[in-house]
Structure 1
Amino acid sequence: MQISDSIARQIVERTMKIIPYSVNVMDEFGHIIGSGEPSRLLQRHEGAILAITENRIVAIDASTAEHLKGVKPGINLPITHQDKTIGAIGISGDPKTVQPYGELVRMTAELIIEQAALMSQTEWQKRHKEELVVQLIQGANADSNQISSLALRLGVDLSQPRIAFVVKIDPRNNQTPISLNHLQQLVSILEQSSAGNLVGVLSVSQNEIVVLQPIKLSKSGWMVEKEHPRINALVKQIEQLIPCQIRIALGDYFAESDGLSKSYQTAKLTLNIAQGKQDKVFFYHDYRLPVLISDLNDGSWKTRQIRQPLDNLKAQDSKGVLFNTLQAYFAHHCDVHNTCQYLNIHRNTLRYRLERIEEISQLSVNNIEHLVHLYLAMQFHSH
């Protein structure tokens, strides 16, 4: 730890509010880097050098000061951090008069340095944790040596099973913009929400954060249903503290070496697929098929072939009655009774509409292959 110019200025300002004397702060080489007398900056202080090299308090009276370079009467005390002398602090004035203030001033300086060191360490850990998160979700493009080195320095167990989830926040009712303080507050909440969470801000402009959360595995794998109450409680906590609209998408667990990259991709794609839905929490398990087919090229001839039956249906369904009926039918897992209740129609009406859908699309809802084709076509039209 070295005393920077900014820390030295802070020490001078803080101590001179306590005592009515000029204070100087010297670096490890005895150069004045902070002073109540700006004209003395960068001068080499021989009294400070003596205090640093011999690690003792050096008092200098008027007669002694005349024989030393860059020195005025006063006292100089070594500054230590983690049992290492890193500089000195001096108080100008009659040594007998300023002596009682020496320990107070030194203690203040060392507390300021300790606080700066802790903040620096915290910032270091934050930056490197974010770098580790970014590397882990890159998959094949990641630097495995860098990942191992970062994990070792941060004390992160890479063998711990984890899943990725993506958090997106937006201003509530498009009012107060999300500030940097809000993002920092959100990161803090997410880090504390589960022991061992690794959190990284992927996009400040888009207010998007990724969390790599440790999980427990059973014989059947990751028990995703146990996440529902925890993640819903997390959403409530965030909304109580931050004025935002929040959306969270959880990816799947993958045991492979690039598993966190795959988990992140499933979470990110789930968030994209669920765009426009009213829910706040989305699980990949509930959007598996739409996510898996999301990478198909909409411009390819295969995609056009899949879409064709519903393109024909929409062309002959100006009011959207048949399309909405088919959408409701799939939403209720092809259950006739529940679909009729949802649409508030008679069974015969539903049967008639399904027959019209079959006639126009040339696909039968009673043929599993045709039904899957219709469902896939609906996915392309819905997303």
Structure 2
Amino acid sequence: MLTMTLAEKIVDEVKKVLTEEIIIAQTNGTIIAATDPARIGQFHEGAYLTSFEGQKRILTKDDEQRMKGVKAGINLPIYFKQEVIGVIGMTGNPIHVSPFGEILRKMTELLIQEHEFFLETETDERQLEAFVFDWLHLPETAIDLTEKAARLQLDVNMQRVVVLIDCHDESFMKQDQYKKVKEMLHLTHQEMIVRWGHARFLLMLQTSANDRDTLQQRLFHIHAALTARSTSKVLIGAGKPAAGQMMKQSFHQAFRALKMANADTPIVFDEDLTLELFIEEVSQETKEVFLDRTIVPLLPYPELVKTLRVLMTSDCSLKYTAEAMHVHINTLHYRLKRIQDLTTLDPKRMQDAMLFYLALMLLDHHPNNRSKQPDIL
């Protein structure tokens, strides 16, 4: 309960408000923290007697001569759950330091209670994280979901959606920030949040198949709140509503959606993915070959890549593309001809335009960011 680390923390906190010398000892009288490091590990007879008697003990100059390891001052028992777990001592003239005695003890006990609450909270969170991990990864026959959920007072048959959030900011994983995020989310007792790796959260939110608009608005608010707390980008992927063992599917959908999220489209629902579904299934090696056969010859010419992007977002309209790029139509024709010469693909032909569209999508999601152009598709 009263570890050396906790004792050192208490001494550091007390030093902020009191200038007197402080020691903290275990119930056996061994000093485990002190403002004077030389006293750590020494036996303090006064602390031992204080622990045994369970009440404040005043130590005088005479006690220094007849008792081992003591200095004039006061010793106070530290209580937790009505049991003495240690002793805190303050050195000085007993007349001068005694008025601070109750304040010192109360402050110490509050720090211990706060530490214990933190440990209990951490334990609860670890149990929840372990349960969610088992739920989403282990085979149906490997665990009894209902029994484990009952201990956590959760109904696994309730419809929920898995949402993955990548904050790209490790500070969100710190306990104080994590607590603020949980409070900001206003989760119901049947909703969950767990830390899910590097700067990521996994949420299980109550919803239904016909409640997309409400969920979308909620995710917009969550994204705005998290973005306001960090300069890093916040990306969100959402699966489809599910329950019981089908939550695994919602998790994999959320993971796939998160990979498709970017700065321009920070919130992605898996059910909105179409062409991206095929892209996700294609190996990186095949993607590289496809890029080499389509758009790679254009990469040394950023203006041509930009022209292709604008052409795609203008529904392949030459008129709208020229206007959007503020160039003469003849300049646009020249660039398109140049693109055809470099790639043997004609962006004015529907079939070749589809190849370029796919190539730009692959380029935007390339792990090595082969293109520095913004994702406007």
Q: Given that residues 133 and 199 in structure 1 are in contact (C-alpha distance below 8 angstroms), is that contact kept between their aligned partners in structure 2?
A: no
Provide the rounded CA distance (Å) in 2 between the counterparts of 1:10 and 1:16.
10
The aligned counterpart of 2:370 is none
Match status 1:281 vs 2:267: yes
Question: TM-score normalized by structure 2?
Answer: 0.66
Amino acid paired to 2:58: A
The aligned counterpart of 1:198 is 192
Distance change (3 Å), C-alpha of 1:36 and 1:159: same
Distance change (3 Å), C-alpha of 1:63 and 1:288: same
The aligned counterpart of 2:247 is 260
CA apart distance, 1:380? 9.9
Distance change (3 Å), C-alpha of 1:142 and 1:87: farther
CA apart distance, 1:45? 2.0
Where does 1:1-383 land on structure 2 (aligned, <5 Å)? 2-16=1-15, 18-140=17-139, 144=143, 149=148, 155-170=153-168, 178=169, 180-182=170-172, 184=174, 185=177, 188-189=180-181, 192-196=184-188, 197-204=191-198, 207=199, 209-217=200-208, 221-257=209-245, 259-273=246-260, 278-287=264-273, 290-291=276-277, 294-295=280-281
Q: Given that residues 160 and 243 in structure 2 are in contact (C-alpha distance below 8 angstroms), is that contact kept between their aligned partners in structure 1?
A: no
Question: TM-score normalized by structure 1?
Answer: 0.65
Provide the rounded CA distance (Å) in 1 between the counterparts of 2:173 and 2:155.
26
Distance change (3 Å), C-alpha of 1:35 and 1:182: closer
Provide the rounded CA distance (Å) in 1 between the counterparts of 2:178 and 2:41.
43
Distance change (3 Å), C-alpha of 1:328 and 1:49: closer
Q: Given that residues 163 and 205 in structure 2 are in contact (C-alpha distance below 8 angstroms), is that contact kept between their aligned partners in structure 1?
A: no
Q: Given that residues 222 and 253 in structure 1 are in contact (C-alpha distance below 8 angstroms), is that contact kept between their aligned partners in structure 2?
A: no
Q: CA deviation digits over 1:60-118, x for unaligned, max 9? A: 33444444333333322110122221101122344444332221221222222223223
Provide the rounded CA distance (Å) in 1 between the counterparts of 2:21 and 2:5.
17
Query: Which has the higher mean CA deviation after the structures are superposed, 11-20 or 28-37?
Result: 11-20
Q: Given that residues 139 and 261 in structure 1 are in contact (C-alpha distance below 8 angstroms), is that contact kept between their aligned partners in structure 2?
A: no
The aligned counterpart of 2:336 is none
Provide the rounded CA distance (Å) in 2 between the counterparts of 1:17 and 1:131.
39
Q: Given that residues 194 and 213 in structure 1 are in contact (C-alpha distance below 8 angstroms), is that contact kept between their aligned partners in structure 2?
A: no
Instruction: Give the fraction of aligned pairs with identical amino acids, expressed as a percent.
Output: 21
Q: Given that residues 166 and 267 in structure 1 are in contact (C-alpha distance below 8 angstroms), is that contact kept between their aligned partners in structure 2?
A: yes
RMSD: 4.6
Q: CA deviation digits over 1:283-316, x for unaligned, max 9? A: 122126743784366889xx9xxx9xxx99xxxx
Distance change (3 Å), C-alpha of 1:146 and 1:243: same
Q: CA deviation digits over 1:145-171, x for unaligned, max 9? A: 69955x56655443443211122345x
Q: CA deviation digits over 1:222-243, x for unaligned, max 9? A: 5223212222222222223322
CA apart distance, 1:200? 3.3
Provide the rounded CA distance (Å) in 1 between the counterparts of 2:18 and 2:183.
42
Provide the rounded CA distance (Å) in 1 between the counterparts of 2:318 and 2:244.
45
Distance change (3 Å), C-alpha of 1:77 and 1:153: farther
Distance change (3 Å), C-alpha of 1:212 and 1:298: same
Local SS of the residue matching 2:67: coil
Task: Provide structure 1 residue ranges, at least 5 long, that are not aligned to the other structure.
Answer: 171-177, 313-318, 332-338, 345-352, 362-374
Amino acid paired to 1:236: A
Q: Given that residues 191 and 199 in structure 1 are in contact (C-alpha distance below 8 angstroms), is that contact kept between their aligned partners in structure 2?
A: no
CA apart distance, 1:44? 2.2
